[in-house]
Amino acid sequence: MPPRRAPLYAGIDVGATKIEVVITGADFTPSGQARIATPLRGGPAAVVTAIETAVTEALAASSAKRLTAVGIGVPGEVDAATGAVSHSPNIRGWSASYPLRAELENRFGTPVAVENDVRIALLGEHRIGTAAPYRDVLAVWFGTGVGGALLLDGVIRKGRLGACGEIGHACAWPGGRRCSCGRRGCLEAYAGRASMERRAKERADKGDKTILFHLMRKAGRTRLTSGVIARALDQGDRLANELINDAVRAAGPVIASAVNVLDVDAVIIGGGLGTRLGQPFARRIHRAMQPHLLNDGRKSVPVVSAGLGDLSGALGGVVLAAELGTARA
């Protein structure tokens, strides 16, 4: 009888600006990685082609050939039964339901598990990252938008409609700024990178001085990425500081209210912007929460930066792939 082949997993994190792929074995140690830009045109079909390219590059970097299973996180609503993804507003052209799992299984010839991007990132953080010591965790991901996920009693919760944890659309200020969802006052309208960019453009058009767009062009970017915002902060840009101050002021009471309701063990801060700004950003949010918490001071819930950093989503995909491979073995 031939020896059993060692398992090989691919974890994929699809975001509005980038697609990240990690290849690992059963120990979850990356042996190959790839990162490419998320297509700006072509909708989900173009995204799938980009995913295939990134996985091929990551496999080549790992000198591996055949995958055991694939796990992928995508911003949007995921149909657990079919693996189809719909309503992914942060990816251009993805407005209708698309059979993502079926398409990727056809291309890779291996089982594929599809999950919401923040839930899959929290899964990775709980298995091999910062959330490992805890049973009840709220994850808040500051990226193009603001996403959330919830772990209770060691289990990732999806909720009745699959929207459990969507803290980005909790109301920070009734009647406040217009959010991409069409409502007013959502946390995402103040703390999402895309909302910050819109606000910065409005302010710059009115004559406010800022180096944000100079740094953006200098970096060859077409958007105010998390890196651009972080560099502007480092250089003392007044508008960049105002944008982050607004984000923290909005996040404090919203996250504190969620903690009051759920009584979780910890809050994990991640996402492109959250990871780039790191633990100092998490500490600022922690301080902004204090006036709104039932249990403040030394009993206050810890607020910590994601331990897996930019790889939270991709490594969460690997964990999901491993669970899928074990279930089908």
Distance in angstroms (rounded) separating the CA atoms of residues 184 and 187: 9
Read off the tokens for 310: 């930019």
Band of residue 1 on the pLDDT scale cut at 50, 70, 90: very low
| pLDDT (tens digit per residue) in 175-231 | 999 998 889 999 999 999 999 999 999 999 999 999 999 999 999 988 999 999 999
Residue predicted with more confidence, 328 or 27: 27
| pLDDT (tens digit per residue) in 100-131 | 999 999 999 999 999 999 999 999 999 999 99
What pLDDT, on the 0 to 100 scale, is given for residue 6?
Answer: 84
Residue in the block written with tokens 């909720």: 159
Residue in the block written with tokens 């801060």: 269
**What's the CA angle centered on 20, arms 15 and 25, to 5 degrees?**
135
What pLDDT, on the 0 to 100 scale, is given for residue 325?
Answer: 64
What pLDDT, on the 0 to 100 scale, is given for residue 92?
Answer: 80
Distance in angstroms (rounded) separating the CA atoms of residues 100 and 50: 13
Asked if residue 5 has pLDDT above 90, the reply is: no
Tell whether domain 9-122+311-328 is in CATH 3.30.420.40. Answer: yes
End-to-end CA, the chain: 17
Compute the half-sphere exposure of residue 320: CA atoms within 13 Å on the CB side of its CA: 32
**Could you give the angle at which helices 312-328 and 117-128 cross, rounded to 10 degrees?**
80
Asked if residue 2 has pLDDT above 60, the reply is: no
Compute the half-sphere exposure of residue 29: CA atoms within 13 Å on the CB side of its CA: 1
The DSSP 8-state label assigned to residue 182 in this structure reads S
Domain boundaries for CATH 3.30.420.40 within the chain: 9-122+311-328, 132-307
Band of residue 326 on the pLDDT scale cut at 50, 70, 90: low
What pLDDT, on the 0 to 100 scale, is given for residue 281?
Answer: 97
The answer to whether 156 and 150 are in contact (CB under 8 A) is yes
Closest CA to 157 of 145, 148, 146, 144: 148
What pLDDT, on the 0 to 100 scale, is given for residue 4?
Answer: 61
**Multiple choice CATH, 132-307, 3.30.70.1400, 3.30.300.130, 3.40.50.300, 3.30.420.40:** 3.30.420.40
| pLDDT (tens digit per residue) in 28-64 | 999 999 999 999 888 899 999 999 999 999 999 987 7
User: 124 Cβ partners below 8 Å, 6+ apart?
Assistant: 11, 308, 311, 312, 313, 314, 315, 316, 317, 318, 319
Distance in angstroms (rounded) separating the CA atoms of residues 313 and 268: 13
Residue 216: Cβ within 10 Å count: 21
What pLDDT, on the 0 to 100 scale, is given for residue 296?
Answer: 62
Strands 137-142 and 266-270: parallel
CA 18 to chain centre: 11
Distance in angstroms (rounded) separating the CA atoms of residues 189 and 205: 19
The DSSP line for 53-76 is HHHHHHHHHHT----SEEEEEESS
Proportion of the chain above pLDDT 70, given as a percent? 96
| pLDDT (tens digit per residue) in 55-92 | 999 999 987 778 999 999 998 888 888 999 987 777 88
Asked if residue 297 has pLDDT above 80, the reply is: no
Read off the tokens for 52: 């295939």
Which H helix or E strand runs over 129? Answer: none
| pLDDT (tens digit per residue) in 152-173 | 999 999 888 778 999 999 999 9
Closest CA to 212 of 237, 234, 190: 237
Band of residue 16 on the pLDDT scale cut at 50, 70, 90: confident
